[in-house]
Copies of this chain bind each other. A is one copy, B any other.
Amino acid sequence: MSRRPQTEIAILGALSIGPMTGYELRAAITDVLGDFWHESFGQIYPTLATLEESGSVRRATPGRTSGSRFEITSAGRAVLRERLAEPHTAPPPRNALLLRLFFGSELPPGRAAELLRAEIDRATTALGRFAAIRAEVVAEPESEARTFRSLTLSYGEHHARAHLTWAREALAALPQDL
């Protein structure tokens, strides 16, 4: 066991597109991977330091300390490929929404319906965002990268639609007095 932190994969992956500062890295991860991945500054900066020490990344503009972009080295690319090929283990499930709904009888009246309506909103918003991204992706020239980007987007679309359908059905199935 004891796998290295996945943050390294996300950072090396992002830097494989182009050099970035820690700050830009976080923005890029939020923008591009935000629907299925997240990193905080508290993870990014220490991890960048580790990766620099191990030679996986280097400063593209070595002089400055503030605002210097990091670029991935060829050793770093090798590490990225290794780490991506490692088996992933899904963390044990902890779905706070379902936990609340399972014990829904203990919820104040109307609360379950409220939770479901919030989910409908969230899913609807997500579907709108996905539609915009889909339009972008369709316009891109065909490439391997586009294939994989489309594939992850498709994941979001399928799950968001399922979520929306579920929440609507569930809301309809709830008796009035709950």
Contact = CB atoms under 8 A, between A and B. Distances in A.
Interface of A: 6, 9-10, 13, 16, 33-38, 77, 80-81, 84-85, 88-108, 111-112, 144-145, 147-152, 154-155, 158-159, 161-163, 165-166, 169-170, 173-175, 178
A173 B150 CA distance: 10
Contact of A151 (B37, B163, B170): B170
Contact of A178 (B144, B159, B162): B144
27 contacts: A6-B94, A6-B96, A9-B99, A9-B103, A13-B106, A33-B102, A35-B93, A36-B93, A37-B99, A38-B93, A38-B94, A80-B103, A81-B106, A81-B107, A84-B103, A85-B108, A88-B96, A90-B97, A101-B151, A101-B155, A147-B178, A151-B170, A151-B173, A151-B174, A158-B162, A161-B162, A162-B162
